[in-house]
Amino acid sequence: MAGKTQKKERVGILGGNFNPVHYAHLIVASQVYHQLKLDKIYLMPSFESPHVDPKKTISASHRIEMLKLALVEDSSSMEIETIEIERQGKSYTYDTMAELTSQHPEKDYYFIIGGDMVDYLPKWHRIDDLIKIVQLVGVNRPGYPLTSDYPVKWVEVPMMDISSSYIREKISTGSTVDYLLPKNVIDYIDKKGLYQYG
Ligand SMILES: Nc1ncnc2c1ncn2[C@@H]1O[C@H](COP(=O)(O)OP(=O)(O)OP(=O)(O)O)[C@@H](O)[C@H]1O
Ligand SMILES: O=C(O)c1ccc[n+]([C@@H]2O[C@H](COP(=O)([O-])O)[C@@H](O)[C@H]2O)c1
């Protein structure tokens, strides 16, 4: 229609290793989706998170399977973005978001990070370019302050001291992880014998 500007779609991206996905990831994604009134949220598994030892990460196919299981009940607001898995190599967020923003100029991107990650922003690859193409969204995480020298939009989520490393450690010592992640993901981990040895 002449003279009418199309409203840009507002898309949130929660990047991570998801090794494995847990309820804090899902709650963070859902809270940001609702509080910022976004149109969609993508959970984006990294092939190799820049600050994570690749030896401690299981295969991308297992991580994607677990994400699919976690989203079976909510595929309307949340989806999986596999661009970094397909690209392989180190998953630098600037590289990914530059590719996505040039493929989708009709979208505005909100890149979500937990409070623990905010501290590391000065070390991120091309951070000064990244903040020109996405809006960073920070969510609180127990033990981390809600401040940054970068333009971070803060969203308050219920505090949850849950992490993938805690879950991996509990599984390797035979302790329960019930209610920390979806039951169908726990069943998958059991069936495939994942994380048994730390
Ligand atoms: N409990 C939590 N509260 C807030 N943010 C979280 C929480 N757990 C993870 N996140 C955020 O989700 C994103 C993806 O996290 P990631 O997949 O690395 O999980 P993790 O639980 O931090 O893993 P690990 O314990 O292996 O480091 C990151 O931005 C991280 O800060
Ligand atoms: O681009 C970077 O330099 C960079 C450095 C650290 C982390 N990231 C991204 O931040 C997200 C969360 O990282 P992590 O280590 O918690 O999996 C994930 O998408 C990573 O690719 C990106």
Segment 24-41, tens digit of pLDDT: 999 999 999 999 999 999
Q: Token pair for residue 20? A: 């494995």
99-155 pLDDT tens trace: 999 999 999 999 999 998 888 999 999 999 999 999 999 999 888 878 888 999 999
What is the spatial distance between Cα 84 and Cα 90, in angstroms, rounded to a whole number? 8
Instruction: Report the complex ipTM.
Output: 0.98
Ligand 1 binding pocket includes 13 (Cβ within 6 Å): no
What is the pTM (predicted TM-score) of this model? 0.96
Kindly tell me the burial class for residue 193, based on how many C-beta atoms sit within 10 Å of its own C-beta (0-12, 13-18, 19 or more): exposed
Under a CB-based contact definition with an 8 Å cutoff, are residues 19 and 164 in contact?
yes
161-174 pLDDT tens trace: 999 999 999 999 99
Ligand 1 binding pocket includes 168 (Cβ within 6 Å): no
- Among 13, 12, 82, 80, smallest CA distance to 46 is for 82
